[in-house]
Structure formats: structure tokens, C-alpha cells
């Protein structure tokens, strides 16, 4: 059985192909951009090509992310929380706390041994608790987003960014730059600010080992380091957790299909 | 020679634009100047001062006193003193519209509601403190994601026939919502007007905190935006005072403070220069 999972996020659309609910055959990412229909179709076509699967061979398509309702061919739509939790457990079966940090916001959930979400919280009203804050900092400091985390790791004396608002933080960053504070220290300070806010969200649901990080921030080593330091523990953040929600969606699609076929038989 | 030093300058170093105004010894506005602030407030304020002198055909020796205001006011190295932008906007609005009792100042990253008395003195004020919601940045961000110039968005929004409701409070989320609403098929004009209407609602919330008493004078950079004027007037159900000078209100108020400070210094026997 072939199931496709698609995670249409505020910045990036991910698509994965899962075989028998177990083997990750292909994964792809594309910018979500302005034209949803185009990026969704593009990601779908690309992931099928990468997995060497024809559209006719796809048994089920499950969608998640803020743009999930735009996936017209979907058989199922799943909330970000549930999809990320399932995806986290797919890669790290002993996961009990899931932290999913995307560009828009951060979502924390506590799951039981079966992967069921017991409790969740998210940063909803403002962008300060999401990767968008760091994206802005990267923009203000004129350093590419891809180099942001690695540069921050060079910090010796991180300077806290006290402004919560991602937009108003611009003046603070520029002031620090003109005061000749090393860029690494400003950037690490910015990471620590986001970590502080995100950790608060995670604490609201309760921290239980293992803790797994999913979403775009998985690829930011400074965020992971700052988070582990502040939490005082290890964070699962390796490999394909960037695609966790898409994988979670595909996995849940597989489960749904099994159940449906079982009922039909 | 007292006669050569009979002009007074105000420099308003804002987050987006730096503005300058020059008044004579009777408080008449002689000239104004504006340019982007950019990253260096010191350079920007010097540049505006130079521009202001050039435009009015004056020399530094003609200026008796300079007052700095705006968020970068403490970086204005050549000024005699600084006054908060709240006092300056109140003073400037009172000069332009003497019946002003309420001032709404919308700038790049602050929005302020100010209640003033018959003399243009601040009685009460309220402002956004924690976040950029409801400030000029809200429009700027949406303009950027749409690839439009800041000057275009207000004008375009006036062509809206069926405004879209923008529910995001956060300026960053509003950018995403802007894209999303367009993707759903709403027209650019309707989405843009929705952004202006959403900002107007937040600004009116601030105004209510200080009490809305006519006349209301709309100041700051956003007072040049016709979409914002329409949205505010529709929701308030009353007219706002605004014109080509209201964006200079902070600088004009600062220049009037310069005139007053210089006069009182002279009366006390001190040297204004």
C-alpha cells in the first residue's frame, strides 16, 4: 500500500511517500509561495517521481498543515498537532513530548505510549514563538537563513533580545549591530529568546522524556543547542524530523486505509 | 547679531522616516524636509537638517535652537535638547489645527492616541507598547509581500468594493493572511482595504482609552495614506483633520518647542546659542 502525506506549511510544503506505513520511499520540499495550488501539485508530482510511483498507484492521500484544505485530492485532513505527534513517534518510538516549531508558530503536545495526543498548546496570536522570528532576525542582520544557526553557534557572550515582537526587534538588532556587538552574540541571543518562549509552551503541556523536535527548526543547530541547554536535557532532532508532520499524515492515512479495508472484507 | 538667529528647527527621527521642520520667530512654518531614516540615525538626522537648511535657503547660523524628537532623538548630536514625540505631536497638531482635542499619530512602528487641552498640552495618551500590531509596519509588511510600493497601497485600497476581514493581530501573521486571502480569490483591493480596516479598529481602540473628543487630528507618516483615512473616518463616523503637513507634525511641534525654549532661555538672561 502506498500512502502520500502532504504538509502545507506557511513557508514550506513537504510531501512524502510511505510504503506499507513503514518505509519512507521519498521526501520532497518546496516553498509554499503565493500560489498554493501550484506548489501543492508541484510537490505531489515531484515526490511521486522521486519514489517512482504513478498517480494510479497511490492508495491514499492525507494532508496536514495550515494549507491542508487546499489539497483538493486529499482523502483525509489531519491537524498539525496530531500529524507531528505521529511523525515524531514514527522516528522516535519512545517520544512522549513533541515540540513542532514552524515558521508561523510553535506547538507542543504530550502523547501517550500509543501516540495519542493527551494535551497540547500552541503560540497562536503572535509570531514571536515561531521560526518567523528568527527569519526576521536573519533578514535584519543580512545573513542568509541557511547560515543563521551555524553563525550563532560561534557566540561567546550571547546578548538577549528583549523585544518580543518580531517586527519591533528590528530596531534592537540594528542598535546592537551599530554598538558593534559581535553578530554571533546577537544571533545566539535571538535564538535564546525564541527558545525561552517555546520552552514555556512545552512546559504548559509538561515535559516528559523523550522529547522530540519536529518542523523547520530541526535544521537549525543553534536552536537545538540553546533548547537543550535551557531545558537541561536531550532533544531528538535528527534526520528526517523536518518531514515529521508529512510522515505522520501518511502513516495515519495508512492506518485509516487498513481499517477501511478491514471493514470492507 | 540676534537678527540672524531667528529661526527654530525640529528634527523628528522616526523608525522609518526622519522629518525636519523650520519655523520663524512667530511660529510660522518656513519649510519641511523628509527622507528615509535607514540604519544610521545620526547620519539621517544630520542629512535632514542639511536638507531643511538648503530648501529654505538658510545657514546653521540662522537657527537659534534645535529640538530633537522621535524614537532616535537622543542620537541627534547637534540638537540643543530633546522632547518626547507625544508632546511634539500634540504641539504640532495644535498649531496646524487649533481646535484639536484628540491626536492620532500613526508611524512606522508606533501608534499613539493623545488627548490634548486647548493649549496643545498633553492630558493623556495611550500607545502600542509590546508589539507592532496596528502600526505602519502592518501595511508595510503586506505591501512588501505583494510587491507593492508603500505609497500605492492606500490608493489601491480605495477601489475596494467588498472588503475582506483580516483576523490576524500580529503584523507577521497578517502577511501570511494577505497571501492566503488572495489565494482564495479575493481581489487585491478588497484585501488591502481589509488591512487598513483592521488597523483602524486597533487605532480606535487606543483612541477610546484616552477618550475621543473632536476635533481629531491625524498625524504621522500614515496620515498620508488615503485608505487609512477612509477606514478611520468610516469607523469613527467623523472627519479627521489631515493634510500634506500632518506627517511633519512631530518635527513642527519640536520646532515650536525650540522657539519656546529659546525665548524662555533669553528671558532668563541665558544664551540661546
- List B24's β-bridge partners, or say none: B7
* pLDDT, position A33: 76
Query: Do B262 and B194 fall into the same domain?
Result: no
Q: Is A170 contained in some domain?
A: no
CB atoms within 10 A of CB A253: 28
pTM, 2 dp: 0.78
* Beta-carbon separation of B182 and A127 below 8 A: no
Q: Which residue from B109, B131, B183 is facing A126, i.e. has the nearest CB?
A: B131
Q: Which of B131, B147, B169 to probe the A interface (max A CBs under 10 A)?
A: B131
CATH number at residue A201: 3.30.420.40
Query: Do B51 and B23 fall into the same domain?
Result: yes
* pLDDT, position B184: 79
Non-local CB neighbours of B1 within 8 Å, separated by 6+ positions = none
CA distance B193 to B190: 5
Q: List the one residue out of A264, A252, A249, A262 whose CA is nearest residue A47.
A: A249
CA distance B43 to B194: 37
- The residue ranking higher by pLDDT, A237 or B130, is A237
Q: Is A144 contained in some domain?
A: no
From chain A, the residues in CB contact with B180 under 8 A are 67
- The rounded percent of chain A whose pLDDT value lies above 90 is 70
Task: Tell me which residue has cell 547560515.
Answer: A147
Query: Closest chain A residue to B75 measured between Cα atoms?
Result: A175
Q: Is A213 contained in some domain?
A: yes
Q: Is A137 contained in some domain?
A: no
Give the pLDDT band of residue A160 (cuts 50, 70, 90).
confident
pLDDT over threshold 70, residue B4 = no
**b/e B191-200 (16+ beta carbons within 10 angstroms → b):** bbbbbbbbbb
DSSP letter, residue B163? P
* Beta-carbon separation of A34 and B182 below 8 A: yes
Give the pLDDT band of residue B144 (cuts 50, 70, 90).
confident
Domain interval for residue A92 = 2-125+197-264
Query: Do B59 and B118 fall into the same domain?
Result: no
Q: Which residue from A10, A126, A174 is facing B170, i.e. has the nearest CB?
A: A126
* pLDDT, position B2: 46
Q: Is A181 contained in some domain?
A: no
What digits encode the pLDDT tens for the residues B206-250? 999 999 999 999 999 999 999 999 999 999 999 999 999 999 999
Query: Do B109 and B9 fall into the same domain?
Result: no
User: Residue A88: what are its φ and ψ, rounded to 5°?
Assistant: -60, -40
Query: Do B48 and B111 fall into the same domain?
Result: no
Q: Which of A167, A171, A174, A175 to probe the B interface (max B CBs under 10 A)?
A: A167
Instruction: Give SS3 for B50.
Output: helix
ipTM over 0.85 threshold? no
CA distance B18 to A71: 47
Q: Is B93 contained in some domain?
A: no
Q: Nearest C-alpha of chain B: how many angstroms from A95?
A: 30
Q: Nearest C-alpha of chain B: how many angstroms from A163?
A: 8
CATH number at residue B69: 3.30.420.40
From chain B, the residues in CB contact with A134 under 8 A are none
Q: Is B90 contained in some domain?
A: no
Q: Nearest C-alpha of chain B: how many angstroms from A243?
A: 21
Interface check B137 vs A, CB under 8 A? yes
pLDDT over threshold 90, residue A166 = no
Q: Is A159 contained in some domain?
A: no
Of A221-235, B28-42, B99-113, B128-142, which range is least confident?
A: B128-142
From chain B, the residues in CB contact with A104 under 8 A are 173, 176
CA distance B173 to A132: 9
How many structural domains comprise chain A? 1
User: Please, are residues B90 and B127 in contact by the beta-carbon 8 Å criterion?
Assistant: no
**b/e A6-42 (16+ beta carbons within 10 angstroms → b):** bbbbbbbbbbbbbbebeebbbbbbbebeeebeebbeb
Instruction: Give SS3 for B269.
Output: coil
Q: Spell out which chain A residues touch chain B, with contact meaning CB-CB distance below 8 angstroms.
A: 10, 34-37, 67, 70, 104, 125-127, 132, 136, 164-168, 171, 174, 177-178
User: Residue A105: what are its φ and ψ, rounded to 5°?
Assistant: -155, 180
* Beta-carbon separation of B172 and A125 below 8 A: no
Cite the DSSP H helix spans in A179-243.
Answer: 183-205, 221-231
For residue B171, what are the CA distances in angstroms to A172, B97, B166? 17, 32, 11
Interface check B37 vs A, CB under 8 A? no
Query: Do B144 and B69 fall into the same domain?
Result: no
Q: What is the mean pLDDT of chain B?
A: 90
Calculate mean pLDDT across residues B152-178: 89
Q: Nearest C-alpha of chain A: how many angstroms from B171?
A: 7
Give the pLDDT band of residue A265 (cuts 50, 70, 90).
low
Interface check B185 vs A, CB under 8 A? no
Helices A183-205 and A131-140 pack at an angle, to 10 degrees, of 170
How many structural domains comprise chain B? 2
Domain interval for residue B33 = 2-82+249-267
Give the pLDDT band of residue B147 (cuts 50, 70, 90).
confident
pLDDT over threshold 90, residue A228 = yes
Instruction: Tabulate helix, strand, coil % of chain A (nearest 5).
Output: 50, 20, 30
Give the pLDDT band of residue A45 (cuts 50, 70, 90).
very high
From chain B, the residues in CB contact with A174 under 8 A are 39
Q: Which residue from A70, A132, A174 is facing B39, i.e. has the nearest CB?
A: A174
Interface check B119 vs A, CB under 8 A? no
Query: Do B120 and B223 fall into the same domain?
Result: yes
Q: Is A6 contained in some domain?
A: yes
Residues across chain A = 265
Query: Do B164 and B228 fall into the same domain?
Result: yes
Q: Is A164 contained in some domain?
A: no
From chain A, the residues in CB contact with B172 under 8 A are 126-127, 132, 136, 166-167
Amino acid at each position: 500500500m502506498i500512502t502520500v502525506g502532504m504538509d502545507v506549511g506557511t513557508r514550506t510544503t513537504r510531501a512524502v511517500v510511505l510504503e506499507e506505513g513503514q518505509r519512507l520511499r521519498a521526501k520532497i520540499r518546496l516553498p509554499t509561495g503565493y500560489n498554493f495550488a501550484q506548489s501543492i501539485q508541484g510537490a505531489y508530482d515531484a515526490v511521486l517521481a522521486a519514489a517512482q510511483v504513478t498517480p494510479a498507484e497511490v492508495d491514499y492521500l492525507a494532508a496536514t498543515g495550515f494549507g491542508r484544505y487546499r489539497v483538493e485530492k486529499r482523502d483525509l485532513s489531519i491537524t498539525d498537532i496530531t500529524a507531528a505527534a505521529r511523525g515524531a513517534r514514527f522516528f522516535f518510538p519512545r517520544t512522549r513530548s513533541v515540540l513542532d516549531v514552524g515558521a508561523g508558530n510553535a506547538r507542543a503536545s504530550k502523547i501517550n505510549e500509543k501516540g495519542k495526543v493527551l494535551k497540547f498548546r500552541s503560540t497562536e496570536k503572535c509570531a514571536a514563538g515561531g521560526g518567523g522570528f528568527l527569519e526576521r532576525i536573519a533578514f535584519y542582520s543580512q545573513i542568509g537563513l541557511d547560515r543563521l544557526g551555524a553563525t550563532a553557534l560561534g557566540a561567546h557572550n550571547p546578548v538577549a533580545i528583549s523585544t518580543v515582537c518580531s517586527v519591533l526587534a528590528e530596531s534592537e538588532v540594528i542598535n546592537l549591530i551599530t554598538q558593534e556587538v559581535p553578530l554571533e552574540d546577537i544571533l545566539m541571543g535571538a535564538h535564546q529568546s525564541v527558545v525561552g518562549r517555546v520552552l514555556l509552551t512545552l512546559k504548559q503541556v509538561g515535559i516528559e522524556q523523550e522529547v522530540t523536535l519536529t518542523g523547520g527548526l530541526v535544521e537549525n543547530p543553534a536552536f537545538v543547542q540553546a533548547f537543550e541547554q535551557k531545558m537541561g536535557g536531550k532533544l531528538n532532532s535528527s534526520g528526517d524530523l523536518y518531514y515529521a508532520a508529512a510522515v505522520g499524515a501518511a502513516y495515519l492515512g495508512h492506518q485509516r486505509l487498513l481499517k477501511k479495508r478491514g471493514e470492507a472484507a | 547679531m540676534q537678527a540672524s538667529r531667528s529661526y527654530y528647527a525640529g528634527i523628528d527621527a522616526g523608525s522609518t522616516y526622519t522629518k525636519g521642520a523650520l519655523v520663524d520667530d512667530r511660529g510660522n512654518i518656513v519649510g519641511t524636509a523628509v527622507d528615509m531614516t535607514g540604519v544610521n540615525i545620526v547620519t539621517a538626522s544630520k542629512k535632514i537638517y542639511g536638507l531643511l537648511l538648503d530648501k529654505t535657503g538658510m545657514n546653521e547660523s540662522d537657527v537659534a535652537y534645535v529640538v530633537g524628537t522621535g524614537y532616535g532623538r537622543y542620537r541627534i548630536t547637534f540638537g540643543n535638547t530633546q522632547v518626547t514625540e507625544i508632546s511634539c505631536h500634540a504641539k504640532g497638531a495644535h498649531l496646524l489645527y487649533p481646535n484639536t482635542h484628540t491626536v492620532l499619530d500613526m508611524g512606522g512602528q508606533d501608534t499613539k492616541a493623545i488627548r490634548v487641552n486647548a493649549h496643545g498640552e498633553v492630558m493623556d495618551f495611550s500607545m502600542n507598547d509590546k508589539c507592532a500590531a496596528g502600526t505602519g509596519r502592518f501595511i508595510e509588511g503586506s505591501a512588501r509581500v505583494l510587491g507593492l510600493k508603500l505609497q500605492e497601497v492606500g490608493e489601491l485600497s480605495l477601489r475596494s468594493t467588498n472588503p475582506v476581514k483580516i483576523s490576524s493581530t500580529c503584523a507577521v501573521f497578517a502577511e501570511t493572511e494577505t497571501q492566503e486571502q488572495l489565494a482564495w480569490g479575493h481581489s487585491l483591493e478588497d484585501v488591502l482595504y481589509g488591512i487598513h480596516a483592521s488597523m483602524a479598529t486597533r487605532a480606535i481602540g487606543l483612541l477610546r482609552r484616552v477618550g475621543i473628543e473632536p476635533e481629531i487630528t491625524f498625524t504621522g507618516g500614515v496620515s498620508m495614506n488615503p485608505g487609512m483615512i477612509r477606514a478611520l473616518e468610516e469607523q469613527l463616523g467623523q472627519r479627521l483633520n489631515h493634510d500634506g503637513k500632518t506627517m511633519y507634525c512631530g518635527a513642527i511641534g519640536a520646532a515650536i518647542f525650540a522657539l519656546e525654549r529659546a525665548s524662555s532661555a533669553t528671558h532668563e538672561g541665558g544664551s540661546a546659542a
